[in-house]
Amino acid sequence: MSFLSNLEKPAETDYLNCIRCGLCLSVCPTYREYLTETASPRGRVALARKGLDGQLELSPNLTEQMYSCFGCMACNDICPVGIHPGDLALSMRHVQEQIEPSGWKHALFGGLIPRPQRMEAATWPLRLYQRLGLRKLFYALGLRKLLPEQLRDLEAQLPSIPQRPLRRVLPEVTAAKGEKRHQVGFFLGCAQSLLFAEESSASTRVLARNGCEVTTPEDVVCCGMPARGYGQMDQVREQARHNIAVYERYDLEVIITDCATCGSTLKEYGEILADDPEWAARAEAFSAKVRDISEYLATIPLEKPTGRVEARVTYHDPCHLRRAQHVWEEPRSLMKLIDGLEFVEMPEADWCCGSAGSQLITHYETSTKVLDRKMDNLNSTGAQIVASGCPGCQMQLTTGIQRNGLAVRVVHPITLLDEAYGE
């Protein structure tokens, strides 16, 4: 019996049915840049199959082809026989971790990321860098130009960091403005709390203005996507169980998030815990309640914003919203409610921006090639604002804008709605 039989691995139907038609090649950002079969969805499926059939060693080199996948899921959507090469690449990372567990991944995704207090402590230096004016000085003295290009691009990703993480500021219950019509939960993601606090404050204000009493538990942990991206499935399951138990304390109609990545992961808890007899039904019930904020706002009667946003605005579809959750019309429709806002569609709006969580760190060259393509498309719209409901995409777009010398503001679509509502 092969040692593989003892491992958690993809089902044979996840890869055996590939008919090698090549349709997925046309939508794959990594294939578009390299035009090599191994950098394509079809190639990754073939490698996974040979590895799992024992025809190829499951070596770090083979796994690297799985890590070079951006997880954008465009191939999942187009495959005529239902193969999900993007999901398969994630599963293969998990297989590799079972064969050869990585100490640093375990420490990072088990010991730091799911522990909000440690994450807050770890980001203190960044907060000081901005709050003490060091960043301004760094730019004013032109020191930034001395950094290697990759470091410069990573520095550019940093948004203006809030004085305190939103987790510590947002009340557990935000009252509805006027008559309470809905009882909703809010899942505050790590990036939103640590980096994009003003956006999530705006999200809760927009919900409250539209009759929602918003419950935001302080003790949630990371949704699990970073750990999933690095094959740490036991860790993902632990975080899922924790978050489900947190929300079971409340009686809520829906659980809303303004982070596309968190939303897609929370919606998958049912699948992630499907084989756990104690948690399967609880996870399914939890996932059934999860909504992206734009998805939810599109289902309730909204107060018409009276303020104006005088700007030409375009939109970038986060893969975790458009592909994973099939939410794409709603953010556009919400922005079109705003008077003065001229919406212009960006070519290839649903093409990955090259972020994929950490690709700017791990696969810099591919990430920036894909990003620069996005910037050409953004520039062609003449937009002054690009909206996108994912912190990873927003950070990547900010880097692209700096790299390409553009003057475009990056914002969450719901923040624009909040601005149009005013006080």
Nearer to ligand SF4, 24 or 197 (CB): 24
* Nearest Cα to Cα of residue 273 among 228, 238, 302: 238
Q: How far is the CB of 186 from ligand SF4 (least distance, A)?
A: 29
Q: How far is the CB of 393 from ligand SF4 (least distance, A)?
A: 14
User: What contacts 332, CB < 8 A, 6 or more positions away?
Assistant: 315, 343
Nearer to ligand SF4, 67 or 296 (CB): 67
d(CA 106, CA 64): 18
Q: How many residues bind ligand SF4 (CB under 6 A)?
A: 28
Q: Which residues ranging from 88 to 107 are in contact with ligand SF4 (CB under 6 A)? A: 89
Q: What is the 3-state secondary structure (H, E, C) of 208-266?
A: HHCCEEEECCCCCCCCCHHHHHCCCHHHHHHHHHHHHHHHCCCCCCEEEECCHHHHHHH
Nearer to ligand SF4, 31 or 196 (CB): 31
Q: How far is the CB of 326 from ligand SF4 (least distance, A)?
A: 16
Of the candidate residues 69, 113, 207, 260, the single one contacting ligand SF4 (CB under 6 A): 69
Q: Which residues ranging from 17 to 56 are in contact with ligand SF4 (CB under 6 A)? A: 18-24, 27-30, 41-42, 44-45
- Owner of token pair 């005013």: 422
- Owner of token pair 């939109």: 315
Site string (205-234) toward ligand SF4, x via CB under 6 A: ------------------------------
Of the candidate residues 10, 14, 70, 109, the single one contacting ligand SF4 (CB under 6 A): 70
Which residue lies nearest ligand SF4, judged by its C-beta? 86
Nearer to ligand SF4, 33 or 198 (CB): 33
Site string (166-185) toward ligand SF4, x via CB under 6 A: --------------------
Of the candidate residues 83, 191, 222, 225, the single one contacting ligand SF4 (CB under 6 A): 83
By the 8 A CB rule, do 176 and 145 touch? no
Task: Select from 63-71, 168-176, 247-255, 325-333 the region that touches ligand SF4 (CB under 6 A).
Answer: 63-71
d(CA 102, CA 125): 27
d(CA 92, CA 254): 33
Of the candidate residues 16, 35, 81, 107, the single one contacting ligand SF4 (CB under 6 A): 81
By the 8 A CB rule, do 354 and 380 touch? no
Nearer to ligand SF4, 377 or 384 (CB): 377
Evaluated on CA atoms 65, 66, 72, 76, the torsion sign reads positive
d(CA 383, CA 319): 21
d(CA 90, CA 361): 18
Tokens of 102: 């990585």
Q: Is residue 49 classed as helix, strand or coil in its secondary structure?
A: helix
Amino acid at 345: E
The length of the chain, given as a count of residues: 423
Task: Select from 72-80, 261-269, 288-296, 378-386 the region that touches ligand SF4 (CB under 6 A).
Answer: 72-80
Nearer to ligand SF4, 67 or 196 (CB): 67
d(CA 291, CA 212): 14
Task: Select from 15-23, 124-132, 380-388, 407-415 the region that touches ligand SF4 (CB under 6 A).
Answer: 15-23
Q: What is the DSSP letter of 26?
A: G
* 85 near ligand SF4, rule: CB under 6 A: yes
d(CA 48, CA 30): 17
Q: How far is the CB of 11 from ligand SF4 (least distance, A)?
A: 15
d(CA 244, CA 305): 34
Interface positions with ligand SF4 (CB under 6 A): 18-24, 27-30, 41-42, 44-45, 69-75, 79, 81, 83, 85-86, 89
